[in-house]
A = this chain, B = another copy of it.
């Protein structure tokens, strides 16, 4: 069975990258991606701390942006500690890894984003995700670090994939849009709506754009759906240009 990719977004301490690699391999996960590591790549501290899980680091894909790191994925999860005011489904690790298992069994690719140690994921990272994963911690004391978050998510992956319950396949044969296609759709609409004066007033434009990105990424869009939306927008532009 294929496995989800774990994406470390702008990790800071090499120690934590190494610990995350170990935590992944503990549960049989080896597809790490790293976005903009603060101290460059390869990272000596990460290698030292990964002891035995160095091959996870060796095989890691390193990218500059979160969008590149998840471009091939049809389902992208963002792990966050606190609830954010986003209209996106929030999953427990259990529910998230259960759905990840089912989607992977149906041929999809899944990526899970983990934020930097101190600050967590930024809103723009979260905008690339289809859903949120939040570990149900004690509301009065929630201090999970990066490697712990990776550990618990990896644990749930292994638990739900080795469990007795078989993987169901839902909507088999559906060709889901991947993150790159969703991003391109977002680009297209953002550009044309921008020309049309949609993002007004100026001061609100960034929030409006993020809202739209979140909207697209939250929709369960097939490739055909994406083409339909492109087609609608192209036609509106043609109509305008006919005057």
Binding site for B on A (CB under 8 A): 22-23, 25-28, 51-53, 83, 85, 87-92, 94-95, 98, 131, 135-138, 141-144, 148, 151-152, 155, 158-159, 162, 166-172, 174, 189, 192-193, 195-198, 211-212, 215, 218-220, 222, 224-225, 228, 231-233, 235-236, 238-240, 243
Q: Quick check: B236 and A169 within 8 Å, CB to CB?
A: no
Closest chain-B Cβ to A24's Cβ sits at a distance in Å of 9
For A131, the chain B residues whose CB sits under 8 A away are: 169
Q: Quick check: B215 and A218 within 8 Å, CB to CB?
A: no
Closest chain-B Cβ to A223's Cβ sits at a distance in Å of 10
Q: Quick check: B88 and A143 within 8 Å, CB to CB?
A: no
Given contacts A27-B138, A196-B238, 8 further A-B contacts (CB under 8 A): A89-B170, A89-B171, A90-B170, A90-B172, A148-B148, A155-B155, A192-B236, A196-B236
What 3 A-B pairs come out closest when comparing CB atoms?
A: A196-B239, A240-B240, A236-B236
Closest chain-B Cβ to A107's Cβ sits at a distance in Å of 20
Q: Quick check: B26 and A138 within 8 Å, CB to CB?
A: yes
For A215, the chain B residues whose CB sits under 8 A away are: 225, 228
When chains A and B are docked, how far (Å) is the Cα of A155 from the Cα of B159? Answer: 13
Closest chain-B Cβ to A11's Cβ sits at a distance in Å of 18
Say whether, besides A87-B171, A88-B171, A196-B235, A166 and B94 are in contact (CB < 8 Å): yes
Say whether, besides A25-B138, A27-B138, A94 and B159 are in contact (CB < 8 Å): yes
Say whether, besides A85-B172, A219-B219, A224-B87, A166 and B92 are in contact (CB < 8 Å): yes
Say whether, besides A228-B211, A232-B193, A235-B196, A159 and B171 are in contact (CB < 8 Å): no
